[in-house]
Structure 1
Amino acid sequence: MADKSDLKAELERKKQRLAEIREEKKRKEEERKKRDVRSQKSEAVPEDSDLDHKRRETEALLQSIGISPEPPLDRLHDDGPPSNAVKLFLISRSRTQRLGPSKITQVDFQPRELVTYSKETQTPLAVLQSEDEDEDEEILEPAPQLVPEPREEEGKQEAKEAPPRELTEEEKQQMLHSDEFLIFFDCTIRVMERALAEDSDIFFDYSGRDLDDKEGDIQAGSNLSFNRLFYDEHWSRHRVVTCLDWSPQYPELMVASYNNNEGAPHDPDGVALVWNMKFKKTTPDYIFHCQSSVVSVGFARFHPNLVVGGTYSGQIVLWDNRSHRRTPAQRTPLSASAHTHPVYCVNVVGTQNANNLITVSTDGKMCSWSLDMLSQPQESMELVYNRSKPVAVTCMAFPASDVNNFVVGSEEGAVYTASRHGSKAGIGEMFEGHQGPVTGISCHNAVGPIDFSHLFVTSSFDWTVKLWNTKHNKPLYSFEDNADYVYDVMWSPVHPALFAAVDGMGRLDLWNLNSDTEVPAASVTMEGCPALNRVRWAPTGREVAVGDSEGRVWIYDVGELAVPHAEDWTRLVRTLAEIRANRSDAEEEAASQLAG
């Protein structure tokens, strides 16, 4: 039994093996047939033409950038059965296209604007109108009004519906104290004050009917005439004007310095106000102050935004009108290397590219500063006469176009020449003639065909004004028409023979050496007779500014007196010759009386 079952199993295995061989043979036969059919098809396909080759390259390029090309029409009409072509077409149509963002340029064209206007002409008013005119009036229709676009109306409605948000109190205070608002408000309020203060004569008649009324004013142009008064109720009240100066860059600007107000101990002791002649506003353009009384002030030449001040404590302060702060932008230290006494003299000399600030204090110390750095002076010099006598300087002046040589007045009444550099640096010659402290000094600065830069005038507490020549140590002439202290004097910047002087009785005198040397050519007394401390000519020479002891600055028009003529230069030469001759005669007469 066991042998039969083993035989049967062996037969079954052999049958299974034969079936597997048959299947393998059949599979190989089918594969061979498929290979034959495939080879026959490849032989039947003709070689690609150049057009097909380029088409395939184009399709490959399009596919590389994400574009599936449409199948060519000749492939749709294939030799194969129609069903295959239709299927290929449907497959190509069913392929999804790749989408991506693209830039769209939108152009809006404004609607054509319809402009209508009416034209009129001036005709006499007729009482009766003709029938034709009535018919014309009936035919005329009112001009059509432009209808605003719906978008504009909607925008206006939205703007009306949305009111601005109410700021909180904290936001308001933060905005009011911001630097941007302070700068904007400071500039804007100055412009508004100028506009409100203007007072133009809108009724002026250009036909000439007003000339009869103005004839008196035209004839009065040869004398001093009041122009305006500068006074601020808060900053000028109970203060004394200590110095004046006109801006060399902006002729309409003038700065005035003031000392302390004893009635207002909480206000700053020193004040400097910048006034504007161009506009009729009654408030200063700029207000500067510091902790010590300002006894001298001046615009920094070649630096139009800077104002320099000398204080009673000895500090030099520098204000900048580009800053909205009123305190100094720079100041010198209170040390032995700088000034420790009142500085009554400040002057910027030099050229545009090389200039210095020259200061002199009453202890006889002269310092030269750079306006870029006031921490220490560039140069320092002790003004001593004969190497033993310190000079207490009260005033200083430089001749025209000279930055090295200068003249100074002193408390003891003597006048000195001095130099900044060279072998004779320091105090040079001494000029004696005054019997009191010298209060003012001015060099001849008028430019003309003849050089008079060697001339200078001085004022003093001895009630006199004296004319000097740097080549002689005795005064050429003494003007003795005043009855009080003469506080200041200044040559005209344009007229060779004209200078101004002010005294303690409120009198302003204009002296013209070519017309008379005994009495002034013009004189005016201020209202209330206050003591006049300072006088300064405007750069044009047509106005003169005067500061008094009550904090007021008076501006007077000089008129025709200030206009120089061609013969004034030669006439001054003759006048000086006559003065020298008279002085020689007086000296000889005095010598003969002493001898007799």
Structure 2
Amino acid sequence: MFNNEALDPVSIQSPWRRSQQSVQESKGCQTKAVQSAEAEVQTVSTTVSGTQTESKQQATAQLVPQNFHGPVLPGLEDFLQRVEDTVITQLVRNARSHAFDGFHVNWEDHSHLVSCHHHLQHPSAVERGLHVTGVSWSCTGAVIVCAYGRIDDGDWSTERSYVCTWNLHGRGLNPKQADVVIDVPTAVTALCCHPNQPALFAGGLYSGEVVVWDTSCAEAPMLVQSGMSADGHREPVYEVEWVPLQKKGEFGLLSACSGGRVLLWTLDSDQGRLVLNASYALVQQQVPQSNSSSFKARGSSTVGVTSMALSPWDSDTFLVGSEGGLLLRCSFSSMTPAAVPSEGQSVTPRAPAVFSFRLSSGPIHSIHCSPFHRNLFVCTGTDGLAHVHSLLQSNPLLSVRISESCVFEVQWSPTRPLVFAAATAQGEVQIYDLGRRSLRPAATIEQGGAGTAATCLAFNRQIPHLLAVGKSDATVGVWQLSTDLTEQNPRENSLLEQIANQVAG
């Protein structure tokens, strides 16, 4: 019923596979080539200048202004041409002349040369009627230190006083309230700020003690104190000065008292005391005599020192003035011992006076050495005169009448070689210029009522236009000086040299 039979194969192509192959394609892409180019540039600087002189006719025509629209006076152009050579010759001669060297026209009135900048006072000192006995500027020139005491007669040795400071550059400056007030158990008779450290200043007391204060220590401003000892001062200390020591950067303290002794101290901050380094005593029998001095030694009494000044030119020279009118040049080398004495060892006083100047008629209250000439200094006292001296001559080179009464202090200007200021008992501060034809004050400072004396003054070395003046009414005036009193004039040093080289009569 079934039979085997071989049949031919039958193939059927897939339409799906064929459709997939038909859509496959091969493609490719490529970016266009980047084009680049190089270029160079260079600048070229050129300058074109030219000059041309005018002809003589054109230059002459310029004598008449181009913008002059008025009628030209007849003969004016001819006149100007005739006198031109004569006028030019005279102008050249005037330019070479020295007839008016050093002369400057002052268009200001003398009353406008000074003006009050600050009026400082401590209320407690005003209420107690204390006097300003010393003013001193800090080494920065920003702080002024004021000492209180008394300059009149009477028993005021036990009266308490003050030392006050004001920072003039401070934001909260109050003229009637000091920044720092230090209570002192007795009157302060001398004051001097440290030359390098603005917070340190030294003072001399009526009791004979020497004190150094440090305002950076608000709780305990007293840094060191000399104390009362057999080798120390026993009379009021009228002068204190900072002295550079042989060890670089260190300073000692020189003090002078009315008992005729001058002492050199060194600071021992660790033990809080002043160590006596050297001492000398001025004895009348040991004072050198000058031909012009009528001073005669009487017994072996000492010379009471009332003023002292250090030479800024010679570290071995200092000057002292006495209550008897003696004016002496002294030498440190004659008083410095070979070695510093040990603790408990007394110091042998030396006699340092090497030269005496002409005797004054009364006590010498102030001496100041010129900062512009090594041989000149000025001194004042009860005779009312300012004596300009040379270290090489006994007689004064020049004497200027300052006041009919006492002159308490005198100082050279730190910027003008021929200018100095003097504080008088009449309450005036007279400022003199030795370069003027007349020896009349260049400016006068007057402030305060009748009977108010100007007791002290101090130029500000860092801010030359400021001058501090202490008064007997417990006030301190800070005055501003004009440029006429502070800026140096031409040939001023040569005029000072002429004064120094003249022979005293």
TM-score when scaled to structure 2?
0.66
Cα deviations by residue, 1:121-164 (Å, 9 ceiling, x for unpaired): xxxxxxxxxxxxxxxxxxxxxxxxxxxxxxxxxxxxxxxxxxxx
CA distance in 1, matches of 2:477, 2:460: 12
Aligned counterpart, 1:435: 361
Aligned counterpart, 1:26: none
- 1:357 lines up with 2:253 in the alignment: yes
Could you tell me which amino acid in structure 2 is paired with residue 227 of structure 1? H
Question: Residues 236 and 527 from structure 1, CA distance in 2 versus in 1: closer, same or farther, beyond 3 angstroms?
Answer: closer
The ranges of structure 1 where at least 4 consecutive aligned residues each deviate by more than 3 angstroms after the TM superposition are: 217-222, 422-425, 574-577
Could you tell me which amino acid in structure 2 is paired with residue 543 of structure 1? L
Secondary structure, in 3 states, of the residue corresponding to 1:353? Answer: coil
Q: How does 1:221-300 map to 2 (within 5 A)?
A: 223-237=113-127, 238-248=129-139, 250-259=140-149, 269-279=160-170, 280-282=173-175, 283-300=177-194
Could you tell me which amino acid in structure 2 is paired with residue 431 of structure 1? F
Query: Is the 2:260–2:281 Cα contact (8 Å) retained in structure 1?
Result: yes
Query: Is the 2:135–2:147 Cα contact (8 Å) retained in structure 1?
Result: yes
- 1:523 lines up with 2:444 in the alignment: yes
| Structure 1 residue 281, shift from structure 2 partner | 2.4
Aligned counterpart, 2:496: 572
Aligned counterpart, 1:456: 377
Q: How does 1:79-94 map to 2 (within 5 A)?
A: none
Query: Is the 1:514–1:575 Cα contact (8 Å) retained in structure 2?
Result: no
CA distance in 2, matches of 1:493, 1:226: 20
Cα deviations by residue, 1:560-587 (Å, 9 ceiling, x for unpaired): 111112321112234556xx46x54xxx
Higher relative contact order (CA 8 A, sep 6+): 2
Could you tell me which amino acid in structure 2 is paired with residue 272 of structure 1? V
Tell me which of 325, 328, 344 is aligned to 1:416: 328
CA distance in 1, matches of 2:109, 2:302: 52
Query: Is the 1:385–1:428 Cα contact (8 Å) retained in structure 2?
Result: no
| Structure 1 residue 328, shift from structure 2 partner | 2.1
Could you tell me which amino acid in structure 2 is paired with residue 546 of structure 1? V
Aligned counterpart, 2:352: 426
Higher helix share: 1
Q: How does 1:4-23 map to 2 (within 5 A)?
A: none
C-alpha RMSD over aligned residues: 2.7
- 1:337 lines up with 2:231 in the alignment: yes
Aligned counterpart, 2:277: 378
| Structure 1 residue 317, shift from structure 2 partner | 1.3
Q: How does 1:455-534 map to 2 (within 5 A)?
A: 455-516=376-437, 518-529=439-450, 530-534=452-456
Tell me which of 537, 546, 555 is aligned to 2:469: 546
Could you tell me which amino acid in structure 2 is paired with residue 533 of structure 1? T
For structure 2, the residue ranges without an aligned partner over 5 or more in a row are 1-106, 287-299, 336-349
Query: Is the 1:433–1:475 Cα contact (8 Å) retained in structure 2?
Result: no
Could you tell me which amino acid in structure 2 is paired with residue 392 of structure 1? G
Q: How does 1:12-161 map to 2 (within 5 A)?
A: none
| Structure 1 residue 435, shift from structure 2 partner | 0.8
- 1:396 lines up with 2:317 in the alignment: no
Query: Is the 1:289–1:327 Cα contact (8 Å) retained in structure 2?
Result: no
Question: Residues 404 and 425 from structure 1, CA distance in 2 versus in 1: closer, same or farther, beyond 3 angstroms?
Answer: farther
| Structure 1 residue 398, shift from structure 2 partner | 0.7
CA distance in 2, matches of 1:453, 1:277: 33
| Structure 1 residue 518, shift from structure 2 partner | 2.2
- 1:302 lines up with 2:177 in the alignment: no
Secondary structure, in 3 states, of the residue corresponding to 2:330? Answer: strand
| Structure 1 residue 370, shift from structure 2 partner | 1.1
CA distance in 2, matches of 1:269, 1:414: 32
CA distance in 1, matches of 2:257, 2:183: 20
| Structure 1 residue 329, shift from structure 2 partner | 2.9
Could you tell me which amino acid in structure 2 is paired with residue 354 of structure 1? E
For structure 1, the residue ranges without an aligned partner over 5 or more in a row are 1-216, 447-451, 585-596
| Structure 1 residue 397, shift from structure 2 partner | 0.6
CA distance in 2, matches of 1:375, 1:491: 31
Secondary structure, in 3 states, of the residue corresponding to 1:473? Answer: coil
Secondary structure, in 3 states, of the residue corresponding to 1:432? Answer: coil
| Structure 1 residue 219, shift from structure 2 partner | 8.1
Aligned counterpart, 2:209: 315
Provide the aligned length of Structure 1 versus Structure 2.
357
CA distance in 2, matches of 1:420, 1:386: 19
Tell me which of 243, 262, 276 is aligned to 1:366: 262
| Structure 1 residue 244, shift from structure 2 partner | 1.2
Aligned counterpart, 2:101: none
CA distance in 1, matches of 2:434, 2:314: 25
Could you tell me which amino acid in structure 1 is paired with residue 431 of structure 2? L
Aligned counterpart, 2:70: none
CA distance in 2, matches of 1:508, 1:359: 26
Query: Is the 2:192–2:240 Cα contact (8 Å) retained in structure 1?
Result: yes
CA distance in 1, matches of 2:196, 2:446: 36
| Structure 1 residue 218, shift from structure 2 partner | 8.9
